[in-house]
């Protein structure tokens, strides 16, 4: 895909950290599945304090790739996804070396906190550095996209927009505003820690089967514009209107796909209804859900304490994690 990149002297090992992101305008469905070229553009906020830390070590003595996830050998599906991704990196570098990938997350995997976004953003940076590829932020974002679409948005920092592009070359994410631009808080309300039954890679392929997907995609530029404007003007009211609408539109597509994808659980609905009620009574707050039951409740930092206290008192809530806007993927010394 990206031949001709300058090689630096490779240390063959490197470690990187990246945050997950919460989509404010969602990516759902691909125009071209294998390249993860999205059906529509999207906007997100990186989540500070939550991170994946990944060390990649290439070694001429290895006869296969290895993937250790949270201290355990990964299952064969996860290993093969990582290996296919490393093939891309090897192809770019003109290398045949296998690698050991060791990754740790400090947040639950597979339940609507985008673990694959953080994982593939960290893996892209660590693998590129270890093998001696000299990639700029755009090139890294393109590479991360191939591992998991939303991972391209965890490469740059702060509030980020994924420009959908028309080809592999022009589909990548850029910072709209740095993390310090606006102190929003995502009160991540954990309803379930169980892995989701249908992962998003499979979910994207079902999007087309919903009669609502065409309408959702056709209306995306309008929502992107509203969201961009709200972020740049730090207008929480405008942001909450478009963010909730966008989340509801994506879940409407999911629920009307064949087969049906129903990620919402009773606890999700309890939180969504409470958020609407609180907002109608003057608290600045809104909800959004990715591909899972957990509800991301957004509010300005001044209201975060009040919002998280209220959330903790609702029935069926496992835990509430608070995350402010986070920075870009970055290299670190140790895992």
- Tell me the residue length of the chain: 335
Asked whether position 26 contacts ligand PMV by CB under 6 A, the answer is: yes
Can you tell me which of 16, 18, 27, 81 binds ligand PMV, judged by CB under 6 A? 27
Residue 81 or 129 having the CB closest to ligand PMV: 81
Can you tell me which of 200, 210, 213, 247 binds ligand PMV, judged by CB under 6 A? 200
Asked whether position 294 contacts ligand PMV by CB under 6 A, the answer is: no
Residue 14 or 39 having the CB closest to ligand PMV: 39
The answer to whether 131 and 5 are in contact (CB under 8 A) is no
d(CA 128, CA 118): 16
* Contact range with ligand PMV by CB under 6 A, out of 26-34, 125-133, 188-196, 268-276: 26-34
Sign of the Cα torsion 195, 197, 201, 204 reads negative
Can you tell me which of 19, 46, 150, 308 binds ligand PMV, judged by CB under 6 A? 150
Can you tell me which of 149, 156, 267, 326 binds ligand PMV, judged by CB under 6 A? 149
Contact string (CB under 6 A) for ligand PMV, positions 105-124, x = contact: ---------x-xx-------
Least distance to ligand PMV, CB of residue 285, Å: 21
Residue 101 or 289 having the CB closest to ligand PMV: 289
- In sequence order, the 6+-apart residues with CB closer than 8 A to the CB of 158 are 45, 46, 175, 176, 177, 178, 179, 180, 181, 325, 326, 327, 328
Asked whether position 147 contacts ligand PMV by CB under 6 A, the answer is: no
d(CA 90, CA 30): 25
Q: Give the footprint of ligand PMV on this chain (CB under 6 A).
A: 23, 26-28, 42, 114, 116-117, 148-150, 200-201, 204, 290-291
């Amino acid at each position: 895909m990206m031949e001709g990149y300058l090689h630096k002297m490779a240390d063959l090992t490197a470690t990187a950290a990246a945050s997950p992101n919460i989509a404010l305008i969602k990516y759902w469905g691909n125009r071209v599945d294998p390249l993860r070229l999205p059906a529509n553009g999207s906007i997100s906020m990186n989540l500070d304090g939550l991170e994946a830390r990944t060390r990649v070590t290439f070694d001429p003595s290895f006869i296969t790739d290895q993937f250790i996830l949270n201290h355990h050998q990964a299952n064969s599906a996860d290993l093969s996804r990582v290996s296919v991704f490393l093939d891309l990196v090897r192809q770019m570098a003109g290398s045949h070396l296998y690698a050991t990938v060791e990754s740790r997350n400090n947040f639950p995997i597979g339940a609507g906190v985008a673990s694959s976004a953080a994982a593939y953003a960290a893996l892209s940076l660590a693998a590129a550095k270890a093998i001696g590829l000299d990639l700029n932020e755009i090139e890294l974002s393109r590479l991360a996209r191939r591992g998991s679409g939303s991972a391209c948005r965890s490469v740059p920092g702060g509030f980020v927009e994924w420009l959908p592009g028309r080809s592999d070359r022009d589909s990548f994410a850029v910072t709209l505003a740095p993390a310090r631009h606006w102190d929003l808080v995502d009160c991540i309300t954990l309803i379930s820690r169980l892995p989701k039954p249908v992962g998003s890679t499979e979910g994207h392929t079902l999007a087309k089967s919903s009669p609502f997907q065409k309408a959702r995609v056709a209306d995306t530029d309008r929502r992107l514009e509203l969201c961009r404007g709200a972020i740049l003007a730090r207008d929480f009211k405008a942001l909450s209107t478009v963010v909730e609408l966008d989340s509801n539109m994506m879940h409407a597509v999911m629920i009307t796909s064949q087969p049906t994808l129903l990620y919402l659980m009773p606890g999700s609905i309890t939180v969504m209804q409470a958020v609407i009620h609180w907002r109608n009574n003057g608290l600045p707050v809104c909800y959004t859900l990715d591909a899972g039951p957990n509800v991301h409740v957004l509010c300005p930092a001044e209201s975060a304490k009040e919002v998280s206290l209220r959330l903790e008192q609702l029935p069926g809530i496992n835990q509430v994690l608070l995350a402010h806007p986070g920075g870009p993927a970055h290299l670190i010394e140790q895992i």
